[in-house]
Chains A and B, each alone.
Chain A
Amino acid sequence: LAPRHPMLKKRDSFEDILEERRHSSDLRYALRCYTPTLYKGLVPCKASMLKSIVLQSDHLQYVIKQVSSESGDSTECVAEEASLILDEMAHRLQLSTVRFFVFTLSKAFKRLFRSVCVNEEGIQRLQQAVQEHPVVLLPSHRSYMDFLMMSYLLYMYDLPLPVIAAGMDFMSMKFVGEMLRMSGAFFIRRSFGGDKLYWAVFSEYVKTMLRNGYAPIEFFLEGTRSRTCKSLTPKTGLLNIVMEPFFKGELFDVNLVPVSISYERILEESLYARELLGIPKPKESTSGLLKARRVLSEDYGSMYVYFGHPVSVRSLTEGKITRSQYNLLPRCIPQKPSADTHEFLNDTAFRLVRIQEGNMVLKPWVLIATLLLQNPDGMDLSSLAEQTDWLRHLALAFGAFLDWPDHAACSEVISCSLALHRHLLSVSAGHVQLSVTDAPQVETTPEEAVFHQAVVVLSCASYRNQILHVFLRPALLAVAMQSANSNRKDDVYNCFNFLRNMFSSEFILCPGDSVQDFEEACYLLMKRGVLQVLEHEIVMSASGHSTLAFLSSVLDPFLQGYQVVSRYLCEETNENLTEKEFIPAVRNFALKLILAGRLKCYEALSSDLQKNALAAFLRLKAVMKVKVGDQVTLKVNKIAVNSLEDTLGKSDVISHQNSWWSRLVL
């Protein structure tokens, strides 16, 4: 599924779909005849009929009886409740609403983007896939724009419009929620852990649409928008639901189509940064959306949508899932996935996200952002150009899907990129630096100043994060080599494995793939001439120093951030630290360090990093969750945290200029 060596992968070319929109009438386009290619086994049915099919299904009837006998309510009562849940959830796809969206979005996209690029070969593959088997679309999720764009594109290419699993928070946007519903969104509650009835209605609703071939199902593996532009650890609940009809033999096959949507500049950029810093996110509301009209006046560069190769669930499961495990119970009785099914789902989800990552288009700015973050004091344009060019070749060698303009001088490319992202930069006298641009009118406290700077850093980091998946494995190896006690291969591997475990919530690292990842990293660095991998030893080549230094500084903010968290856990913790208090407390701790000049890494303020670090400590059993009453408190095993911190400290970059930690420790 995931190619061993990504640089060998061939990728399709792009077409700009806005090109045509700029030359012909949007209204006529919105009203044009729409005749989608349909699934060959389609059972035609209307949205209203769908509801009765779901409510009458054996599965739901079974659960209704079960819930009724458990709760003592009458079955009619429970059935009524199911019906209400379905009303709240169900989409009401209407072509007229879609046409309205097509019209307005055409206008909006033209304002926002210079181009919207789509790989048409991917569309052709999708057209084929849609006819053969029910299709599940799995786009990456970086922006609200994602699913609007998906539906827009499918309409445009005469593909069946998808039904989209959306979070309930949209529903609170009065008018817009209903509009989205009529354009194919269905709404699910964010958490319904123990609610059997809700789960039954929800899963049956999705499965019915899939089985009937009603429409492609679209959902986000990552569950929510990634605020950091790193892919999020995938969720497997919906993946299980869409695979179950295959497991149970109700469908011959299901096609999963990973879709990678990337933005040259993300609409929600500073919003995300603020959210990560704990500046509360404005609740989705229609008025908020109207205020967001301001965004329409800005330039967001290009947007890229890459439709990956359809992945057949049947071929994925071959040799991994014994479908006969579903033979012994009537299929209407819900079954929890078995341990091996669960492992399979998890593994598949990770691999699909890696496919998404691999097909994300990276712009030159991503390279520039990476370098600027490593040089907080700024860089001369000339050295920026030099290093960017160097980095570009490294990224390409590691298989990055880089969209570097043909026949353009490096300096030209850089100045274009800087212009597009000027709100994050100050450029003066050939010197570029990340800095706050819209200078605040009023006097700011030092805390506020830190936060303003942090917004810029985190915004910039969200671009660097886009390329992390390319450098991740070699970077882990680079850090492992620095922290290992010797050059022995198994020592280095052990360090690599430790880091991999530490960061497995932070980055997409398929569980169980540590040997492959290690080999891939060795291969890439060896090919680049950075390392020599001997039978028992790994030796750095003479020319490899700069590459290794660069790679380890890529991970530097994360190493530092995790150390801050562990330091906090060791030093500050009171006995009854609740889970809720954790993030604000760490943030304060980090803020104090920054204000005291002992920490320069603003990324340590990011709640995403803090959460991931906590997840790592929980996973490594250095911290335990204890439920006291209705609160969850964190019990810290200080010895364990300390030793993890020590190990991380060893990994910290000694050779690099940012060797701040030694200063901090002193």
Chain B
Amino acid sequence: MASNSSSSTAQQRLRIIAGHLQKRPEDENASVAAQECKAEAPRSEPSSATPVPRRRQEIMKWNGWGYSDSRFLFTKKGQAEFTGKRYRLSGLILPSLKDWFEGTFGANLQHRSPATPSLNLSAVAPPNLNQPFVEDLKAAGLVVSHDPEDRVFRAHGHCLHEVFALREGRIGRVPDMVVWPSCHSDVEKIVELACKHNVCLIPYGGGTSVSSALECPREETRSIVSLDTSQMVSVYMHACRQYLRIRRLNEHGYCTGHEPDSMEFSSLGGWVATRASGMKKNIYGNIEDLVVHIKMVTPRGVIEKSCLGPRMSTGPDIHHFILGSEGTLGVVTEVTLKIRPLPEYQKYGSVVFPNFQQGVACLREVARQRCAPASIRLMDNEQFQFGHALKPQVSSMFTSFLDGLKKFYITKFKGFDPQHLCVATLLFEGDRGKVLQHEKQVYDIAAKFGGLAAGEDNGQRGYMLTFVIAYLRDLGMDYYVIGESFETSVPWDRVLDLCRNVKERIVRECKERGVQVTQTYDAGACVYFYFAFNYRGLNDPVHVYEQVEHAAREEILANGGSLSHHHGVGKLRKEWMKESVSGVGLGMLKSVKEYVDPQNIFGNRNLL
């Protein structure tokens, strides 16, 4: 088995993982487990690895991000703290967050804007049920619910306007019922009945969409059924909660390598349906590179390939009709993914650059030499300061002394301007020797662009940020600060201009924070913008935000950026689809939809 897995990029199929798990010798590689702990440390605690229950609200917030037990708050003493036990940051005090928060946004801890504490059930419209459909479902033995809480939970993703409305207790159109299939044939049955009774199906995976993809279309008059795939944990591990799957994979020395920022919540089906990307794509690839086989149930029937060949020349790849179809064509029920042995060794790192331009130039060079680490991200100065604000309380005088010394060295001795320096965070994976060699290569390139190695801690904190940033937004919203992130991808030569112009455009519309280059490609980069502002005194802050984001997106497109790198289009970015893929391109997609789903059963109205 060891030789099998070490045959480098040999594609492994999830379908036969069960076999692997059994065959795998217990004593294979002790160091794997140790390394794995380190990599997974920022995530949830390993022991309580349970799948998300049907009643998600039992462990997750109904009007905010993530687990109910994990949240940022300011203590009575005004210190920030992250609660719970699930994350590396959990239970820690963050002494500088308050100053950064108040300084940057002009927020004040006295001015609170708390959320509605609990869901007002009377605000939820009674379900518009299609009785014959419900009866047929029940007859088929499927689990359904029209409980208002279940329905509200599945009526939204995590766009700012969606969460903001929930916090204010405003409930719009919600699905009329929820159904939980547990296997492929359940889905076939549901789709068949939906066609028969003409009801609208909206597939639901992890609910982490940020493109308004889960919102119920206002113009829909049929009964809307949310098809929740979270319970489809099959023995083949298809479309299972990846959290569980990765845990199991990791326990046995494997990984998929796909780690989007929302990974503890999002679902495999969702990754496929949105063309997701993970932070380690440099090694493992994006979802389209990982997928070997997909099975999807559509109103027209089941679509799949006949074999698991690694590549086929059989006309356009039918997978690409499915990848990124955003739930408009059907439900992904089974996916076969490539897996890889767990990396033997992992190491974080970081590099400080005197300014953003130098940082971008370095990343470009790293990409050109094709020696990008598993992950490499460049944060601009604003985001660097934000990351700094999340530094936990230092335990010893010595550490704090060391920090001071480092700061002195960089700013005074090396002459970096603290208002301009920026930081690249790095994550290396592989066997120990190669990682060290790789690390040296990257640091050597960085040195040519004036970069200074700045330690593992900074790197690790950088990555932690991406997992907790959604929690931080909830904290902001408690104090009149709203924010959102949006992303794009852009050729290298336009990265700087795009960042500058978009920031300036946002500044022109209002106040702004933060940019980050997160993914690098040899032809370009993925750019992330974080943007937040204090809305105290504003009448309709969400509307203001939306206007700014709209302007920013126009600016991105005008500067050669894409409509989306991995968030998808949903309903939020639909208006630019034609411009992005040309009229003919859009027509092709429409004709596929027309063929596959003439009744518009999958009527979430995303994308097209």
Contact = CB atoms under 8 A, between A and B. Distances in A.
Interface of A: 58, 248-250, 252, 322-324, 326-327, 330-332
Contact of B559 (A58, A322, A323, A332): A323
A252 B560 contact: no
Given A249-B494, A252-B505, A327 B560 contact: yes
A249 B560 contact: yes
Contacts of B560: 249, 324, 326-327
B501 A249 contact: yes
A252 B557 CA distance: 14
A323 B500 CA distance: 16
Interface string B567-581: 000000000000100
Contacts of A332: 493
A249 B558 contact: yes
Interface in B485-532: 491, 493-494, 497-498, 500-501, 504-505
Contact of B493 (A252, A322, A330): A330
Nearest to A326: B560
Contacts of B491: 330
A327 B559 CA distance: 7
B494 A252 contact: no
Nearest to B579: A324
Contacts of A58: 493
A249 B497 contact: yes
A83 B504 CA distance: 35
Given A331-B493, A331-B494, A252 B504 contact: yes
B565 to A, nearest CB: 15
A249 to B, nearest CB: 4
A334 to B, nearest CB: 15
A252 B558 contact: no
Query: Which residue, of B494, B498, B557, B579, has the highest number of chain A Cβ atoms within 10 A?
Result: B494
Interface in B548-590: 557-560, 579
B258 to A, nearest CB: 29
22 contacts: A58-B493, A248-B497, A249-B494, A249-B498, A249-B501, A249-B558, A249-B559, A250-B497, A252-B500, A252-B501, A252-B504, A252-B505, A322-B558, A323-B558, A323-B559, A324-B557, A324-B579, A327-B560, A330-B491, A330-B493, A331-B493, A331-B494
A468 to B, nearest CB: 40
Contacts of A331: 493-494
B579 to A, nearest CB: 7
A252 B505 CA distance: 8
Interface residue SS majority, chain B:
helix
A389 B504 CA distance: 53
B269 to A, nearest CB: 33
Interface residues of B, number: 14
B46 to A, nearest CB: 46
Contacts of A248: 497
B352 to A, nearest CB: 22
A324 B557 CA distance: 6
Nearest to A317: B558
3 A-B pairs closest in CB distance: A323-B558, A249-B559, A327-B560
A630 to B, nearest CB: 43
B563 to A, nearest CB: 11
A250 B501 CA distance: 8
Contacts of A249: 494, 497-498, 501, 558-560
A128 to B, nearest CB: 15
Nearest to A245: B497
Query: Which residue, of B505, B558, B579, has the highest number of chain A Cβ atoms within 10 A?
Result: B558
Interface of B: 491, 493-494, 497-498, 500-501, 504-505, 557-560, 579
B118 to A, nearest CB: 46
Contacts of B493: 58, 330-332
Query: Which residue, of A248, A322, A327, A331, has the highest number of chain B Cβ atoms within 10 A?
Result: A327
A664 B517 CA distance: 78
A252 B497 CA distance: 8
A243 to B, nearest CB: 14
Contacts of A322: 558
Contacts of B504: 252
A324 B505 contact: no
Contacts of B579: 324
Nearest to A41: B500
Nearest to B494: A249
A517 B442 CA distance: 65
A58 B494 CA distance: 13
A248 B497 CA distance: 9
Contacts of A252: 500-501, 504-505
Nearest to B497: A249
Given A249-B497, A249-B559, A324-B579, 5 more contacts: A248-B497, A249-B494, A252-B500, A323-B559, A331-B494
A332 B491 CA distance: 13
B497 to A, nearest CB: 5
Contacts of B501: 249, 252
A326 B501 CA distance: 15
A235 B23 CA distance: 79
Given A249-B494, A252-B505, A330-B493, A324 B558 contact: yes
B522 to A, nearest CB: 15
Query: Which residue, of A252, A323, A324, has the highest number of chain B Cβ atoms within 10 A?
Result: A252
A322 B560 CA distance: 11
Nearest to A323: B558
Nearest to B491: A330
A332 B494 CA distance: 11
A9 B501 CA distance: 33
B529 to A, nearest CB: 15
A326 B500 CA distance: 17
A58 B491 CA distance: 15
Query: Which residue, of A324, A326, A332, has the highest number of chain B Cβ atoms within 10 A?
Result: A324
Nearest to B562: A327
Nearest to A250: B497
Query: Which residue, of B497, B505, B579, has the highest number of chain A Cβ atoms within 10 A?
Result: B497
Nearest to B501: A252
Nearest to A330: B493
A515 B494 CA distance: 42
A323 B491 CA distance: 15
Contacts of B498: 249
A323 to B, nearest CB: 4
A526 B498 CA distance: 51
A210 B402 CA distance: 45
A330 B504 CA distance: 23
Contacts of B505: 252
A249 B497 CA distance: 6
B493 to A, nearest CB: 6
A131 to B, nearest CB: 14
A409 B232 CA distance: 97
Nearest to A331: B493
A340 to B, nearest CB: 15
B184 to A, nearest CB: 42
A265 B557 CA distance: 52
A118 B558 CA distance: 39
A246 to B, nearest CB: 10
Contacts of A250: 497
Contacts of B500: 252
B491 to A, nearest CB: 8
A249 B556 CA distance: 10
Contacts of B497: 248-250
B38 to A, nearest CB: 41
A420 to B, nearest CB: 49
A276 to B, nearest CB: 46
A138 to B, nearest CB: 24
A9 to B, nearest CB: 27
A330 B494 CA distance: 9
Nearest to A248: B497
A326 B498 CA distance: 13
A327 B580 CA distance: 11
A327 B491 CA distance: 9
B52 to A, nearest CB: 41
